[in-house]
Structure 1
């Protein structure tokens, strides 16, 4: 049965569907030896050979769901042309090919989900589903109530106004304060840009929750597989049959 190329890549665990579309446009995908750069191509998994970066991409029957406590200093990617540390270095014992769901910056630590379930990854990162991501943030100086209200209502950034957020001041003081910030979007460096916009730049940033998942009981640099109940909760959150 023929399926669209980007869907096949997601089904095979190569990337989420949106990330797969980007890979295709970048010329990284071949079908039967021919580079594909446009959307609309379909493939038959039983007949066609699909390659990503010159490596065959095959459907994987086993789905993997990995929760990683990412330390600062690791790139959220599977390979780096400059040889810098990546999150793949932290999950070497995972035999299946998995990819990050969303990303954390090099200088951000915390909860990162990796999987080869392309459909789930696509929904978890799609703005339409509004999955909550909670961060523990240390900022410069002491944000007043007016600043906290601005963050809650939405901040105008160069790519548009942010959606309403949840903010809680944990420890106020000088020279730094600690707060939690919960957002439902996933723009590039969004939390850092929001706080820069209100003149309280980030000192340190850690994601402590992704939907129903938390870092409870985990140490930095360690990973574990999700339980069946956690996978079920994630799928239910984004309307997938479990």
Structure 2
């Protein structure tokens, strides 16, 4: 479409909408393809439009405001919740818990990555779709740290071999730092830090080593940690820490 208000300067519309918390950039490109985004009343058919602001932009017929300051929340997800807005099987989702856990002015937030139904711990949520996407990309190298309680026999030397990565059923999993916590018996706690976040990665790797995972918690994502945040509660992370992390991400990720 042509429009004399479309400058060459500015940012692509999908990037602006992601910053405004509408969705991730990839999801917004799908929304444009589906005819759900319009500019000054005209339906857009391409995401390759650059704008200085979101003035005149609507999604599903509703005007979109300009991007707000980036906000990031830490939520202690309990086991037994789906990381989705709705579940076809009718299982409870994180959003039911978040209605009471988040501050009233939190607005629309999106989870950064996912935690499985039976996985607990740190789930980050943001209103910034661009930052969400950057944090999730394996190429960003943002570390995720987990504690797993597993049943079976394992040694530290076996875990040390994971630093070279491992291939399971044709899928390559990159460098993993794993440490066996002190203890005795066949139920042991293992702390693992990885940087890719593939689906069910921790469980699959430990099962590959002959262990049965019976509890899994994420305790860290990038520089942010679960700490003593109570289960089912959420807190907003300090703006200064969030902005510093965003700058680090833009320089190529936290190594």
Cα deviation for residue 97 of structure 1 reads 0.3
Q: Which residue matches 2:237?
A: 226
Cα deviation for residue 43 of structure 1 reads 7.2
| Residues 137-216 of structure 1 aligned to structure 2 (within 5 Å) | 137-158=148-169, 160-216=171-227
Q: Which residue matches 1:31?
A: 37
Q: How many residues are matched?
A: 235
Q: Which residue matches 1:6?
A: 14
Give the TM-score normalised by the residue count of structure 1.
0.83
Give the TM-score normalised by the residue count of structure 2.
0.80
Cα deviation for residue 201 of structure 1 reads 2.7
Q: Say if 1:229 and 1:178 are closer, same or farther in 2 by CA, change over 3 A.
A: same
Cα deviation for residue 63 of structure 1 reads 3.2
**Distance in 1 between residues matched to 2:235 and 2:31, nearest whole Å:** 28
**Distance in 2 between residues matched to 1:47 and 1:17, nearest whole Å:** 19
Stretches of structure 2 that go unaligned for 5 or more consecutive residues are 1-5
Q: Say if 1:199 and 1:5 are closer, same or farther in 2 by CA, change over 3 A.
A: farther
Q: Say if 1:43 and 1:88 are closer, same or farther in 2 by CA, change over 3 A.
A: farther
Structure 1 residue 123 corresponds to structure 2 residue 124: no
Structure 1 residue 79 corresponds to structure 2 residue 86: yes
Alignment counterpart, residue 98 of structure 2, candidates 82, 91, 94: 91
Structure 1 residue 113 corresponds to structure 2 residue 124: yes
The question of whether the paired residues in 1 share the 8 Å contact of 2:57 and 2:64 is answered with no
Q: Which residue matches 2:73?
A: 66
Q: Which residue matches 1:15?
A: 23
Larger-Rg structure: 2
Q: Cα deviation per residue 1:117-136 (whole Å; 9 max; x = unaligned)? A: 12222221122220111000
**Distance in 2 between residues matched to 1:188 and 1:157, nearest whole Å:** 13
The question of whether the paired residues in 2 share the 8 Å contact of 1:64 and 1:115 is answered with yes
Q: Which residue matches 1:46?
A: 55
Q: Say if 1:132 and 1:7 are closer, same or farther in 2 by CA, change over 3 A.
A: same
